[in-house]
Amino acid sequence: MKESYRERGGTSVTEKQHITIKGVKEGLIFLLDDNCEFSILLDELQYKLEKSHQQLLTGPIVHVQVKLGSRHVTEEDKERIRATIRQQGNLLVQSVESEAIAPEKPEDGNNIKVLTGIVRSGQTMEHDGNLLLMGDVNPGGTVLCTGDIYVLGALRGLAHAGCEGRKEAVIAASLLRPTQLRIDDVISRPPDEWMTGDALMEFAFLSEGVMKIDKLTQLQRIRRLPIVFRA
């Protein structure tokens, strides 16, 4: 069983301390080691406040800044630190800061799954995110995506993009001859009402709640094109 800081009776001469308390003009800075376990850190913080630094932490109100280094912490972890320090009545926590950089979310245009194959009649291909299908969708075949659908081939079946409420999704194909298109909850009109004579390199999108068709060269007007289609 792992011992807590308090059960060990504080640090020995050879044991590393994980918290450094420095006095500055504005009050105190608590420097917390960003490598040790968080539970050990809290135990040591509690011990220092109650035992080893009790004389330093008495008197009038003292403002405290907590520096966490590059440790990744949640808001709940920060609140646990604040609550521990607040137990010492004269300490007022002004900030709890981490230098950790939050991971960036990939842009929709760069987050795309590439699959190869043919969706035949009676088959359904489903994907959570954006999809590039290098192949055909035959009549009777279905492609469902929560994001965009790009077909590097002939789209002759049903394609449903943005199927969980993403109205800005698009459906694009080298040859756009679908039986039906859907974006979010909008269903296309009968194909013969909107198909052009030349169905090469086209995409479908929503404009004011109405599905429209345009050439892929115009896709950059509404967003950055993640895949380069070649005829």
Q: How many CA atoms lie within 13 A of 199 on its CB side?
A: 15
Q: How many Å apart are CA 135 and CA 152, to the nearest integer? A: 6
Distant-in-sequence contacts of 181-188, Cβ < 8 A, 24+ apart: 181/211, 182/158, 183/211, 186/210, 186/211, 187/211
> Per the structure block, which two tokens stand in for 220?
């950059």
pTM of the model: 0.51
The pLDDT of residue 124 is 93
What's the confidence (pLDDT) of residue 203? 92
DSSP 102: P
Rounded to an integer, the average pLDDT of 46-57 is: 71
Other CB atoms within 10 Å distance of the CB of residue 203:
23
CB atoms within 10 A of CB 177: 15
Rounded to 5 degrees, what are φ and ψ at 209? 80, 5
Residue 228: the pLDDT is: 45
Residue matched to tokens 């077909």 = 151
Most confident of 3-17, 78-92, 163-177, 215-229: 163-177
Q: Report the C-alpha gap between 70 and 198 in whole angstroms.
A: 56
Q: Which helix (H) or strand (E) holds 46?
A: helix 38-47
| Architecture in CATH for domain 108-221 | 3 Solenoid (2.160)
**What per-residue confidence (pLDDT) applies to 109?**
45
The arithmetic mean of pLDDT across residues 153-174, rounded, is 94
pLDDT band, very low/low/confident/very high, at 191 (cuts 50, 70, 90): low
Beta bridge partners of 173: 151, 202
Residue 181 or residue 25, greater confidence: 181
Residue-averaged pLDDT of the chain: 80
How far apart CA 48 and CA 26 sit, in angstroms, is 20
- The Cα-based distances of 195 to 124, 161, 211 in angstroms read 24, 18, 12
Burial class (CB within 10 angstroms; exposed 0-12, middle 13-18, buried 19+) of 108: middle
Beta bridge partners of 22: 29
How many whole angstroms separate alpha carbon 168 and alpha carbon 65?
44
Do 188 and 211 contact (CB within 8 A), yes or no? yes
Token pair belonging to 147: 């994001």
